[in-house]
Structure 1
Amino acid sequence: MIRCIRWCAAFCALLFAALLANVGRVQVWEAAALDAHPANKRTAIDRYARPRGDILVDGVAVTGSRDSGQLLRYERTYRDGPLYAPVTGFSSQTYGTSFVERAEDAVLSGTDPGLSAFPLWYELSRGRPAGGHAVTTVRAAVQRAAFEGLAGKRGAVAAVEPSSGRILALVSSPSYDPGVLSGTGSAVREAWARLNADPARPMLNRALRETYPPGSTFKIVTAAAALDSGVVTDVDAPTRTPDPYPLPGTRTLLPNAATGCEDASMAEAVQWSCNTVMARIGVQVGLRRMVEAARRFGFNDDGLRVPSWVSRSNFDTDMSPDQLALSAIGQFNTTATPLQMALVAAAVANGGEIARPWLVERTTQDDGSPVRSGQRRSLGRAMTPATALRLQQLMVKVVEEGTGRNAAVPGAVVGGKTGTAQHGVGNAGTPYAWFIGWAKAEDAAVPAVALAVVVEDAAARRGDISGNSAAAPIARTVLQAALSTAR
């Protein structure tokens, strides 16, 4: 009898060990796969069982959470959704997340280990702390000035603080309300289909994700390359450039929209936006040095994050001389995001150095205790300080006496560059109107803001569209707002 009992006990112990082994297999080895299984609803239920942390602008939450009473309990809400959509992105129970909602999802959803002093406790208890907050670098007044300036026209504005890289405004127009994507059901699916089918592409973040031919705003890059390489040593010296200019190796003549460009100096070419002079200078700089200059400004870099990814701005690395001439004036295959062109202006304003652009100032716990803080980092030097100082002077002259007068701000020093970029088959599309620039108060030591404005559908006759008429007035209102809120 005792022997049978022993055999029975051993068999029960074996079964118990097998049970423990199976529990360990399910809880440890297969946990990740089971959590990710499409049929497992518990992960989603747990994710939306608590309010999500907020995204803040100027210390005020521009997001919230609403108790839907459904299985997926809390849905995301947005204050001034279309205004801040390029910053926040969306958080949808059906379609996931985007932009800051995606980049800081772990903090906002309460799963980031940094939210608790005892993260292992939450791991063991299968609980989690309340969602934390993401504090952005955006200034509400600057964001609104850019949004209202575009007034629904297709285009974008990106504004940064040159010395630190903080993004002060990020606007894309037309925009959309991310709140319509927050929940589940047919209404959300219909909104998603409607937004994606809209030919105006309201969900496209034009400031970060769309690339445009930068047109004459790229001449600042060409001018920097010419000064740094020594191709131009005196910006006021005549360049002996004909008008029109025969593109090298071709019979094609490059004209000017401006008058008085024949034999103009580089200073005059920047002031009045002479295509011929800057194209010829680009050829003289040469392909290798132009490619290197563009790279220093951030072109051809596909690794920029703010923290969301930014589309790669392009400057071709293999071109014939005629193609190089067109690329030097922001045409041919040269393309740039509005943020990239804002960084070009910021490099000039910041003495030649480019500070990495960033959008999240810090993340915090629910009670405001810090989790992580953003910090200034350099992307490198785009030009020498002497070149930057010379370009500052040229850009100021553009606004005071040249093609960018509509960007002038009373009581401030403003430097800028206008651009009108041709595009489409045979350049038949409505030209894009550009303005890039920077501003500082008259008594300030350094500029407080640099920006880029692009307008896709300027409301004017095709021949009358220009950066000064369509983009510079928007820039002026944004610069004024930035100067009034400068810290």
Structure 2
Amino acid sequence: MVVESGTYAKDPANRRIAIARYDRPRGGILVGARPVTGSRDTGGQLAYTRTYRDGPLYAPVTGFASQTYGTSLLEGTEDGLLAGTSPQLASVPLWSEITRDRQRPGDVHTTIDAAAQQAAYAGLAGRRGAVAALDPATGRILALVSSPSYDPGLLAGTGPEVAEQWRRLNDDPAQPMLDRAIRQTYPPGSTFKVVTAAAALESGAVTDLGAPTRSPDPYRLPGTTWSLTNEGRGCADASVLDAFRVSCNTVFAKLGADVGLAAMVRQAEAFGFNDTRLRIPPGVAKSNFDRTMSPDQVALSSIGQFDTTATPLQMAMVAAAVGNGGELMRPYLVDRVTNHGGAVVQHTRPQPLHRAVSQGTAARLRQLMEAVVSDGTGTNAAIPGAVVGGKTGTAQHGVGNKGTPYAWFISYARPLGSSRASVAVAVVVEDAEAARADISGGGSAAPIARAVMQAVLAAPPRP
């Protein structure tokens, strides 16, 4: 029995495993000091089923724990700790492995800031989209919201009602169970110009942000007869500073083509693109920047078009690296795990992920992003008493660019007198009302980012 215990435990015909799994309350997932999950005694053979407080608000964080359909997101990655089967909870881990003795479940303490999460959820107001917010100095994920959402409690138990809810949610064209913040990628549009500006500065292609760029308007893509234009005027030969502030596609497409494929790939990957191994601990979809492209494709990719795609978390990482002096910290969602007695059995320590850009380049990128908010397309993100940097964007997609536009805004904020940002945010709204211009990101997404940043800045300092 001891030797074959692992095989018996995995046998789907062994109903004792399921009965034992649900014979006690599951450990809690906490936001701050408040559990957002619980357990309810059903009186049945599978004694305890999962409950959720503010289920739709926290579903992109918790995921679901279902007696019928298994687990997802934190309920899945932390299942052993929440169910009490992890040897980390045992006083004698090796003996626990041999005997398969269950400990009392542990609790998972998230990094989420409740006020920031609520601000993001209220800002989206049911529209399709997502918000991701980070502490740039540590990588702590402060908000992770996907809309529309769902109540994980609908899937917790067994029986025909649960099966019907599963079918309904999976058939819903709005995809409420899709975690858009970490599992959906979008063309980032003009928010990607932060990456292009970084590549130009790091490579030496740009040394003076105020110098004319010799960029024609319209700009003919290299090797083609197709010309790129701008929504507004004043982009011909505009400086990088002015082109970034009012978001000139022609300037940044030419800049990306001049910098070249190798440098653009190197810079995108320094910010986290093309990473297939990122875990927070739930897996994050890969944000894409093609490694093989023709010059015209490089030009389009440099303004967030062609095959370039990003998760909202990825674009929050871009803003966070800029706000943190060029150092990109590894994002994480679990602060610590405690056992039933409250002792910490697992603690996440902040870790650098990449040096995205030099400190000097980061300072000049902050100059660009802060000009967007003070006197550009992102004035809706301004916060009195704080320094805010941002970048708007609208990404067209679909055949002939006729799909619903994606309105983007990425930003960071720091208190006056502070050298490092306290919060970085990315917002994407699948906005049918968005005008086909870069400014729409400022109108649809920037107010949401502002509300999230204000919530974080207003919070008391962490001990």
Alignment TM-score > 0.5, same fold = yes
Q: Distance in 2 between matches of 1:385 and 1:108?
A: 41
Q: Of the candidates 293, 309, 325, which is equivalent to residue 351 of structure 1?
A: 325
| Structure 2 counterpart of 1:425, one-letter code | V
Which residue is 2:337 aligned to?
Answer: 363
Unaligned runs of 5+ residues in structure 1 are 1-26
Which residues in structure 2 correspond to 1:64-83 (within 5 Å)? 64-83=38-57
Q: Distance in 1 between matches of 2:359 and 2:394?
A: 28
TM-score (norm. length: structure 1): 0.93
* Closer, same or farther: CA 317–120 of 1 in aligned 2, 3 Å: closer
TM-fit CA distance, 1:249: 0.9
Q: Deviations over 1:97-124 (max 9, x none)?
A: 1111111111110111121213455556
Q: Distance in 2 between matches of 1:118 and 1:36?
A: 23
TM-fit CA distance, 1:258: 2.3
Which residue is 2:211 aligned to?
Answer: 237
Which residue is 2:17 aligned to?
Answer: 43
Q: Of the candidates 191, 196, 199, which is equivalent to residue 222 of structure 1?
A: 196
Which residue is 1:425 aligned to?
Answer: 399
Q: Distance in 1 between matches of 2:383 and 2:260?
A: 37
* Closer, same or farther: CA 319–486 of 1 in aligned 2, 3 Å: farther
Give percent identity, aligned residues only: 63
TM-fit CA distance, 1:483: 0.6
* Count of equivalent residues: 461
TM-fit CA distance, 1:444: 2.8
Partner-residue secondary structure (3-state), 1:28: coil
Q: Distance in 2 between matches of 1:210 and 1:426?
A: 22
Q: Of the candidates 336, 351, 356, which is equivalent to residue 382 of structure 1?
A: 356
Unaligned runs of 5+ residues in structure 2 are none
Contact 2:372 2:390 in 1 (8 A): yes
Which residues in structure 2 correspond to 1:182-197 (within 5 Å)? 182-197=156-171
| Structure 2 counterpart of 1:113, one-letter code | P
TM-fit CA distance, 1:446: 1.8
TM-fit CA distance, 1:259: 1.6
Contact 1:448 1:486 in 2 (8 A): no
Which residue is 2:306 aligned to?
Answer: 332
2:183 is equivalent to residue 209 of structure 1: yes
Q: Distance in 2 between matches of 1:266 and 1:231?
A: 11
Q: Distance in 2 between matches of 1:126 and 1:297?
A: 43
Which residue is 2:238 aligned to?
Answer: 264
2:146 is equivalent to residue 172 of structure 1: yes
| Structure 2 counterpart of 1:234, one-letter code | D
TM-fit CA distance, 1:275: 0.2
Q: Distance in 2 between matches of 1:459 and 1:70?
A: 49
The structure whose Rg is larger is: 1
Which residue is 2:133 aligned to?
Answer: 159
Q: Deviations over 1:105-156 (max 9, x none)?
A: 1111011112121345555665422110000000000000000000000000
Q: Distance in 2 between matches of 1:212 and 1:289?
A: 22
* Closer, same or farther: CA 465–405 of 1 in aligned 2, 3 Å: closer
Q: Of the candidates 65, 68, 74, which is equivalent to residue 91 of structure 1?
A: 65
Which residue is 2:262 aligned to?
Answer: 288
Q: Distance in 2 between matches of 1:417 and 1:54?
A: 38
Which residues in structure 2 correspond to 1:415-454 (within 5 Å)? 415-454=389-428
Which residue is 2:429 aligned to?
Answer: 455
Which residue is 1:60 aligned to?
Answer: 34
Contact 1:458 1:465 in 2 (8 A): no
Contact 1:431 1:465 in 2 (8 A): no
Q: Distance in 2 between matches of 1:130 and 1:246?
A: 66
Q: Deviations over 1:177-218 (max 9, x none)?
A: 000000000111111100000000000000000000000000
Partner-residue secondary structure (3-state), 1:278: helix
Q: Distance in 1 between matches of 2:436 and 2:267?
A: 32
Which residue is 1:6 aligned to?
Answer: none
| Structure 2 counterpart of 1:437, one-letter code | S
TM-score (norm. length: structure 2): 0.97
Q: What do you get for the CA RMSD once the two structures are aligned?
A: 1.3
Structure with the higher fraction of residues in helix conformation: 1
Q: Deviations over 1:407-432 (max 9, x none)?
A: 11111100000001010111111210
